[in-house]
Structure 1
Amino acid sequence: MNLPLPSPDAQAHSQRLLDCIRREIAANEGWIPFARYMELALYAPGLGYYTAGARKFGAAGDFITAPGMSVLFGQALARQVAQVMAASAPVILEVGAGSGRLAADLLLELERRACLPKQYLILDLSADLRERQQQTLAAEVPHLLPRLRWLDALPESFAGVVVGNELLDAMPAEIVAWRENGIFERGVELDTAGTFVWSERSATGALLAAAQQICEQCQLPPGFESEISLAARAWAAEWGCRLSAGALLLIDYGFPRREFYHQQRARGTLMCHYRHHAHPDPFYLPGLQDLTVHVDFTAIIAAAHGAGLELLGYTSQGQFLLNCGILDLLGELPNDSADYIRAAGAVNKLLMPHEMGELFKVIAIGRGIDEGLCGFASGDQSRRL
């Protein structure tokens, strides 16, 4: 791979995480599931990609998310957030708030609409990202800081809006291989040189049951390899006993199940991001690159519905943003200004099917919301799940 070389300090950091994972493998009879490898690579305390101090978002990082492309993303989303708050409670919980950009944009637009939340809660596992979020919000919305609070865990009970932008794709996922002689879980072991290599063991328990169901529903041929995120399913189901009223608004890239486990993705969706380069090798520079998998949205709603929650809407990001009035927001800018030109380019990427508009989806899951949500007023695709 022709990728940028890290600095000596970054290489040393990656080596420390590599040694940590090697010890984990040695302590577990020479093998760990890929989900555990992904968990350590992303979240090992002080070493993982999201728990160490390297810059991740923006031009100087490894990727750019929708909030970093234009404030219009957050402004459009605010319309949907305001509707859910009005139907439940004036509280927002953002899980995985990244740089804090989306929180700032949401708060400013909600203030403009005269419907600020009483509280804006943020839950993020990364101390480094918490610090960056606090800096962003102190600079952008200093007058609203009393409404902000950071959490260490999900609240026992919650009413209001839960926002997760590119959250589910970063949850550790198991990798399964459907072979002629059975269903196997893919994992990681060390070769004689101490290098990470793939290895397989028979799938068992909840993973085996999930893999068998998917195989039956999607008629997978032998040799098919893909991901099953038990963590994402469990997270969605957990809200069944925590959400008293309101909705989860989850924005991520993925597919309904029959599209997720399609022949054109016979080797899965695992992807790595390093310095704005995408590649498939999860063992390259652990701790310095992001690891992601696409979302099986059918699995998410099935887990949530089984826990007593309802599907309130599902559509593409492009359609959702159109429904939320992003073009009207763009039209408020002077059309001969530099701001308009920049915003128009960003909106094009957010909406167009060949950019982010179709690959990214928005799903709303909730309880106690009787009215139809504006973000799904046209082009709802719930039937595809």
Structure 2
Amino acid sequence: MHAQQRTTPLSAIIKSEIAGSRLRGEARAPGTAELSAISFHHYMSLCLYHPDYGYYRSGTARVGRDGDFYTSAYIGEVMGEQLAHTIAGLADEHFPGAHKVEVVDWGGGTGRLGRQMMDAWASGDEAGSKFKLTVIDGNPEHRREALVRLEPYVASGNARVIGGEPDDLPNWDDRPVIVVANELLDAFPVHRLAKRDGRIREWGVAWDEASERFISCLLTRNEMDWTDWLEEQGIKLLEGQTFEVNLQAADWIRSLAHRMPRALLVLIDYGDDSIELSAPHRMDGTLLCYHNHRAHNDPYHVPGEQDLTAHVNFSHTRRAAEQSGWKQLWYGTQKRFLIESGVMDKLTEHRIADPFHPIARRNRAIRQLLLSDGMSELFKVQIFEK
């Protein structure tokens, strides 16, 4: 029995896109007509990035207590501090003698991680004057909050907040840049593939008049030759398996290579390598939906008002990066990254009974980042240089 789908302002727009589409979906019952359909990638793009009603383009802040999910920057200040420490070391090693290094927090949301990094650098004397921060985010409400949070650094000229459209982006020329993408790639729309009767098919979305619901369907014609793409990536799907492909993440990494002659790229996201994401226990793919801090698997529940996300394929990002001139410097779990960056040195022995004391809160944040629900193993950090 299906859960109730709630009509949203985006619902009528999606229905119109389906009605005008040239793609067709496989009928559910033999002998019935094919369905008008759009690809799941098209559907997810509308849900997340429609200019008026997309999840990341409208409404209130989407992250934090009043949003639908948290990021690691919301677990105390530890992640920002450790990232700042790592970036300072990378800058010294790869940009020796540089007077100023621009750190770009791409998809930086409400500026929380950026503020944590700036505060950490400011407390480090010499490093405090070395870094300039740019927060890029497409959500107007996120940008407003980021400007408030970063106000002291914006006022001093050491931080700015801009949109993510091509016309908004600066020309980095030959300046040294370090790009941080913390849970950015998982927000890009994905194609959903399926292996049926030995063939690679693509999932689409149709409107079912009888039930008045959006439904999943297999497209009768794929948008591209996925068989060749999977073979090139070394991925073999099992019969009946569903698998997500994030082409836009790879395109974004390639675009950075052209924009930034001297750069480092730090990716932080949840995901794994191709072999794990196509393993037998991953028969249904990794698509998840987040609404009011609850995870579920119905992408049609409230179109445009919930987050849709899939695990990042770090084999794919590595291949795309290396093909466009990046070199991988480091890859591993967030837990390993935090430990190697010295987070254990911040644990303090104490006998303080007050759980809200700063020392108790810091210790708790460190334990949560390292141990909570295995997330620190699911999250990966991948660092490239160019």
Taking structure 1 as the reference length, the TM-score comes to 0.86
- Residues 119 and 31 (structure 1 numbering): CA distance in 2 closer, same or farther, change over 3 Å? same
Residue in structure 2 matching 1:148, options 153, 160, 163: 160
Q: What does 1:9-158 align with in structure 2 at a 5 Å threshold?
A: 15-29=8-22, 30-86=36-92, 87-88=94-95, 90-113=101-124, 114-116=126-128, 117-138=130-151, 141=153, 144=156, 146-151=158-163, 152-153=165-166, 154-157=169-172
Q: Is the 8 A contact 1:84 1:246 kept in 2?
A: no
Return 96-105 or 27-36, whichever deviates more. Answer: 27-36
Q: Confirm or deny that 1:326 pairs with 2:343.
A: yes
> How far apart are residue 143 of structure 1 and its match?
5.2
Match of 2:28 in 1: none
CA distance in 2, matches of 1:246, 1:55: 30
Match of 2:25 in 1: none
Residue in structure 2 matching 1:192, options 190, 209, 217: 209
- Aligned AA (2:183): E
The residue matched to 1:244 in structure 2 has which SS?
coil
Q: Confirm or deny that 1:211 pairs with 2:198.
A: no
CA distance in 2, matches of 1:206, 1:238: 23
Q: Confirm or deny that 1:234 pairs with 2:251.
A: yes
Q: Is the 8 A contact 1:165 1:251 kept in 2?
A: yes
- Residues 76 and 146 (structure 1 numbering): CA distance in 2 closer, same or farther, change over 3 Å? closer
The residue matched to 1:356 in structure 2 has which SS?
helix
Q: Which runs of 5+ in 1 are unaligned?
A: 368-385
CA distance in 2, matches of 1:34, 1:156: 34
Q: Is the 8 A contact 1:137 1:145 kept in 2?
A: no
> How far apart are residue 148 of structure 1 and its match?
2.1
Return 345-354 or 145-154, whichever deviates more. Answer: 145-154
Q: Is the 8 A contact 1:118 1:147 kept in 2?
A: no
Q: Is the 8 A contact 1:72 1:330 kept in 2?
A: no
- Aligned AA (1:345): R
Match of 2:29 in 1: none
CA distance in 1, matches of 2:121, 2:75: 19
CA distance in 2, matches of 1:355, 1:74: 20
CA distance in 2, matches of 1:204, 1:47: 25
Per-residue Cα deviation, 1:187-246 (whole angstroms, up to 9, x for no partner):
1111114421111123353544323445xx343221111101111111112222222122
Q: Confirm or deny that 1:350 pairs with 2:343.
A: no
CA distance in 1, matches of 2:189, 2:372: 27
CA distance in 1, matches of 2:78, 2:67: 22
Q: Is the 8 A contact 2:131 2:158 kept in 1?
A: no
CA distance in 2, matches of 1:92, 1:60: 27
Per-residue Cα deviation, 1:330-350 (whole angstroms, up to 9, x for no partner):
44x976362222222221121
CA distance in 2, matches of 1:330, 1:317: 17
The residue matched to 2:374 in structure 1 has which SS?
coil
Q: Is the 8 A contact 1:243 1:366 kept in 2?
A: no
- Aligned AA (1:53): G
The residue matched to 1:50 in structure 2 has which SS?
coil
> RMSD value over aligned CA atoms?
2.5
In the alignment of these two chains, the number of paired residues is 356
Q: Confirm or deny that 1:341 pairs with 2:360.
A: yes
- Aligned AA (1:307): S
Match of 2:31 in 1: none
- Aligned AA (2:123): R
CA distance in 1, matches of 2:351, 2:79: 18
CA distance in 2, matches of 1:286, 1:199: 17
Q: Which runs of 5+ in 2 are unaligned?
A: 23-35
Q: Is the 8 A contact 2:203 2:217 kept in 1?
A: yes
Q: Is the 8 A contact 2:133 2:158 kept in 1?
A: no
Return 304-313 or 201-210, whichever deviates more. Answer: 201-210
Match of 2:196 in 1: 179
Q: Is the 8 A contact 1:254 1:294 kept in 2?
A: yes
Match of 1:380 in 2: none
Match of 1:383 in 2: none
- Residues 218 and 207 (structure 1 numbering): CA distance in 2 closer, same or farther, change over 3 Å? closer
Q: Is the 8 A contact 1:349 1:355 kept in 2?
A: no
The residue matched to 1:321 in structure 2 has which SS?
helix
Moved over 6 A (4+): none
Q: What does 1:296-335 align with in structure 2 at a 5 Å threshold?
A: 296-331=313-348
- Aligned AA (2:302): L
CA distance in 2, matches of 1:48, 1:360: 26
CA distance in 1, matches of 2:196, 2:55: 32
The residue matched to 2:18 in structure 1 has which SS?
helix
Q: What does 1:340-379 align with in structure 2 at a 5 Å threshold?
A: 340-352=359-371, 354-367=373-386
CA distance in 1, matches of 2:309, 2:351: 37
Taking structure 2 as the reference length, the TM-score comes to 0.85
> How far apart are residue 287 of structure 1 and its match?
1.6
Residue in structure 2 matching 1:246, options 263, 268, 280: 263
The residue matched to 1:115 in structure 2 has which SS?
helix
- Aligned AA (1:19): A
